[in-house]
Amino acid sequence: MVKFARRLDDEGWTDRSVPMSEETWRTVVDPVKKQTFTFIETAEETGGARLVTLIEVLPGGGPPEHSHSFAETFELVDGDARVLRDDVWLLLEHGKPITVEGGRFHTFTNASARPATIKVTVHDPGRFEQTMRVLAGLARDGVLAEGKRPPAALLAALVGMGGDYYEPVMPRPLWKLMNAALAPFGRKALRDALARYDRPVLAT
């Protein structure tokens, strides 16, 4: 089925008569983090209350340790996976979801030899989906690679999208200061990134 939609960017809602296939737009591949997102429920579909995605994680895949303002709940669907919460690795087991509250350091990984699938519910998700789409697009285009950090202005843009996103690569006050200084450049980088990698938002 093909739908037409509007798009949400940092300037608000804009009309965008772009057809999108129900079979393709929900899936996003990030080759650097070795993970594939399949969005089951988007923020638009839940009125901003939550986002639900299945994440297939290849062996060794997963994001770097980080924190953000929103909470996430992780549930094992298939395979073997672990969740890091405040420096403690927790085995993800069927029927035993793990919730990470906003502001807590965390990540997840697949330490096995075969793919694993995790169901992630993002509470009050904000621009989570857009952030994941931009990061995956940058990875596919080679702007992001393993061990390579994005350009500073683009990093500021991603931080602005990510709900007070923080990676412990430097002290938090210095991180905030750096991104505040880069904010004017980040806004343009954000517009450019959204124009290239974002999808149309479901029309209501």
pLDDT at 13: 34
Query: Is pLDDT at 15 greater than 60 in this prediction?
Result: no
User: Which range has the worst mean pLDDT, 73-87, 96-110, 133-147, 151-165?
Assistant: 151-165
pLDDT at 112: 94
User: What is the number of alpha carbons within 13 Å of residue 94 lying toward its C-beta?
Assistant: 4
- Between the alpha carbon of residue 158 and those of residues 42, 113, 127, 190, the distances in Å are 19, 31, 10, 7
Residue that is written with structure tokens 């060794």 in the block: 60
Quick one: which H or E segment has residue 61?
Answer: none
Each residue of 96-111: pLDDT tens digit?
Answer: 999 999 999 999 999 8
pLDDT at 2: 36
Instruction: Please state the pTM of the whole predicted model.
Output: 0.81
Residue that is written with structure tokens 């073997």 in the block: 80
Query: Is pLDDT at 152 greater than 70 in this prediction?
Result: no
More confident site: 121 or 15: 121
* pLDDT averaged over every residue in the chain: 80
Can you give the residue ranges of every domain in the chain? 2-202
User: Which range has the worst mean pLDDT, 46-55, 78-87, 126-135?
Assistant: 126-135
Can you identify the CATH homologous superfamily of domain 2-202? Jelly Rolls (2.60.120.10)
Query: Is pLDDT at 203 greater than 70 in this prediction?
Result: no
More confident site: 82 or 186: 82
12: left (phi over 0), alpha (psi -120 to 50) or beta: left
pLDDT at 194: 79
Each residue of 21-37: pLDDT tens digit?
Answer: 555 789 999 999 999 99
